[in-house]
């Protein structure tokens, strides 16, 4: 048996290119946005930077080869995500949210649907956005539960050759678009049969933007990710062609379930990136600051031990995320379980580790002049979004463990 975490020459080149681009371009996000008063103003100020990301080909680099992109899999995506998010979480989330927004189309779209809707995301120009409109006001943890649970409340009714959508969505990255009329493509999870069981009740329908009847009601003011748009949008009699349904009526449950498996591993990578940023700052602080003492604080055992613990946790998260991404790339039957562990363990470890590193730095870490405060605010969302660890992700793991055919060795042997 061979276990090898060595990156290929192409992957090393990709990682270094991502690091250089982040250092050159993404460092500008903070100075361009921090002084602005509202969430929407800060979001709008990121557009020129996002346009540079797209023009440099990074969107195309992370989209899969089979649909015209250059991405070779989840491991490559993880390498880019770590480098980007370590520098800025805002424009990075805008970029990676596009991949989620396109996932239903890539997974269930017909050749005709791909030809009609995918082109703008391969062009390396402009600021194209895509969003997966799943979450709703009031919560979506029980989105596919049978009655009396409400589940998804957004509806789509067939009227001749058009679907008519009504409802509201919340916590959907970039769903308002740059002009308030929606992104270039919005994949909307909706109820197409009110009387059907969960396996047949839900569908995913593509809404190209700008869409008449889509209203940006508010851009939420967030604790972290202060320059990223997370809106509430309403759909009032939004009409799209009948052909815009993905996989046919009733295919929504399968599409949603499949779409949120890879994202779990990616959130683990986001958490890793924030830990890395915090660790690098704290290590340099400890090397250079005496805090009125005789030697740099790194010379003290308590500081050295804390940094060692943080680095060990960070390495554990990195290799778990890499294994999960590799399992997704190779079609391992253990991929879903590993992705969930990467998300739950990675996100919760990040919050703990960053807090511990703030103790190393001390009271200075509580100042906005210090990056640790912003790093922690960004990291706090990782246990909560993309399926909360408590209400969604642990429940999924529980279901796996409770299955009669569950094999606990599959996750490390990679066999069914």
Element (H, E) at 237: strand 231-241
Tens digit of pLDDT for each residue in 120-150? 999 999 999 999 999 999 888 888 887 777 7
pLDDT of residue 14: 97
Q: Specify the pLDDT at position 375.
A: 98
Q: Which range among 33-47, 138-152, 283-297, 308-322 shows the weakest confidence by mean pLDDT? A: 138-152
Question: pLDDT at residue 330 above 50?
Answer: yes
pTM: 0.96
416 pLDDT band, cuts 50/70/90, is very low
Buried b (16+ CB within 10 A) or exposed e, 162-181: bbbbbbbbbbbbbbbbbebb
For this structure, is 193 an active site residue? no
**Residue ranges, CATH 1.20.140.10, the chain:** 261-413
Instruction: Please compute the mean of the pLDDT values over residues 376-388 and round it to a whole number.
Output: 96
Q: What is the pLDDT of residue 2?
A: 64
Is the domain defined by 130-250 classed in CATH 2.40.110.10? Answer: yes
Between 194 and 125, where is the model more confident? 125
pLDDT exceeds 70 at position 296: yes
Rounded Cα distance between 29 and 37, Å, is 15
Q: Please, where in the chain does CATH 2.40.110.10 lie?
A: 130-250
pLDDT above 70 covers a percentage of the chain that reads: 99
Domain 9-121 adopts which CATH fold?
Butyryl-Coa Dehydrogenase, subunit A; domain 1 (1.10.540)
Average pLDDT of the residues in 243-269? 96
Note the pLDDT tens digit of each residue in 65-122.
999 999 999 999 999 999 999 999 999 999 999 999 999 999 999 999 999 999 999 9
Q: Given its phi and psi angles, is residue 182 left (phi above 0), alpha (psi -120 to 50 degrees) or beta?
A: left
Residue ranges of the chain assigned to CATH 1.10.540.10: 9-121
| pLDDT score at 415 | 58
pLDDT for 220 beyond 60: yes
Tell me what pLDDT residue 148 has: 72
Q: Looking at per-residue confidence, does 5 or 403 come out higher?
A: 403
One DSSP character per residue, 29-51 reads HHHHHTT-SSHHHHHHHTHHHHH
For residue 71, the 8-state DSSP code is: B
Q: Rounded to an integer, what distance in angstroms lies between the CA atom of residue 276 and that of residue 263?
A: 20
Q: How many CB atoms lie within 10 A of CB 391?
A: 13
Measured CA to CA in angstroms, residue 259 lies from 97, 157, 254, 255 at distances of: 12, 24, 9, 6
SS3 208: strand
Q: Which two tokens stand for residue 127?
A: 């600021």
Residue 145: the pLDDT is 80
At CA 349, angle to CA 347 and CA 354, rounded to 5? 100
Q: How much is the average pLDDT of 189-197?
A: 91
Lowest mean pLDDT among 143-152, 234-243, 313-322, 334-343: 143-152
What mean pLDDT value characterizes the chain?
A: 95
Mean pLDDT of all residues in 378-399: 96
pLDDT(190) > 60 = yes
Across 185-211, average pLDDT: 93
Using an 8 Å Cβ cutoff, are 262 and 339 in contact? yes
Res. 192 pLDDT band, cuts 50 70 90: very high
Q: Which of 76, 88, 144, 386 is catalytic?
A: 386
Q: What is the pLDDT of residue 8?
A: 94
In the structure, what pLDDT confidence band is assigned to residue 3 with cuts at 50, 70 and 90?
A: confident
Length of the chain: 416
Question: Residue 85 and residue 378: Cα distance in Å, rounded?
Answer: 10
- CATH class (in words) of the domain with range 261-413: mainly alpha
Helices (H), strands (E): how many in the chain?
A: 16, 7
């Amino acid at each position: 048996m061979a276990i090898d975490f060595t990156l290929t020459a192409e992957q090393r080149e990709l990682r270094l290119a991502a690091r250089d681009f982040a250092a050159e371009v993404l460092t500008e996000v903070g100075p361009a946005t921090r002084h602005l008063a509202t969430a929407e103003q800060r979001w709008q100020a990121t557009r020129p930077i996002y346009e540079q990301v797209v023009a440099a080909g990074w969107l195309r680099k992370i989209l899969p080869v089979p649909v015209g992109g250059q991405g070779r899999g989840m491991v490559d995506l993880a390498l880019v995500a770590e480098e980007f998010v370590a520098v800025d979480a805002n424009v990075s989330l805008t970029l990676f949210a596009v991949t989620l927004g396109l996932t239903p189309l890539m997974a269930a779209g017909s050749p005709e649907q791909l030809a009609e809707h995918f082109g703008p995301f391969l062009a390396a120009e402009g600021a194209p956005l895509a969003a997966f409109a799943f979450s709703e006001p009031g919560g979506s943890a029980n989105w596919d539960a049978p009655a009396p649970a409400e589940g998804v409340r957004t509806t789509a009714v067939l009227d001749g050759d058009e679907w008519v959508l009504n409802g509201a969505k919340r916590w959907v990255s970039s769903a308002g678009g740059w002009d308030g009329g929606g992104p270039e493509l919005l994949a909307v999870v909706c109820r197409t049969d009110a009387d059907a069981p969960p396996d047949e009740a839900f569908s995913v329908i593509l809404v190209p933007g700008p869409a008449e009847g889509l209203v940006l009601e508010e851009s939420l003011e967030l604790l972290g990710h202060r320059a990223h748009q997370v809106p509430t949008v309403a759909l009032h009699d939004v009409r799209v062609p009948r052909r815009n349904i993905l996989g046919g009526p009733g295919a929504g449950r399968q599409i949603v379930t499949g779409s949120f498996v890879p994202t779990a591993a990616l959130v683990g990578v986001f958490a890793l990136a924030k830990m890395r940023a915090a660790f690098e700052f704290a290590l340099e602080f400890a090397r250079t600051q005496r805090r009125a003492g005789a030697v740099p604080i790194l010379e003290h055992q308590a500081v050295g031990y804390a940094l060692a613990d943080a680095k060990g946790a960070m390495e554990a998260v990195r290799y778990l995320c890499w294994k999960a991404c590799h399992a997704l790339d190779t079609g391992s039957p253990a991929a879903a379980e590993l992705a969930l562990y990467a998300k739950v363990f990675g996100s919760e470890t990040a919050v703990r580790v960053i807090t511990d590193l703030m103790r190393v730095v001390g009271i200075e870490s509580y100042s906005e002049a210090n990056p640790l405060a912003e790093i922690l605010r960004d990291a706090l969302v990782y246990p909560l979004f993309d399926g909360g660890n408590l209400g969604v992700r642990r429940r999924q793991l529980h279901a796996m463990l409770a299955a009669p055919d569950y094999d606990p060795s599959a996750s490390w042997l990679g066999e069914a």
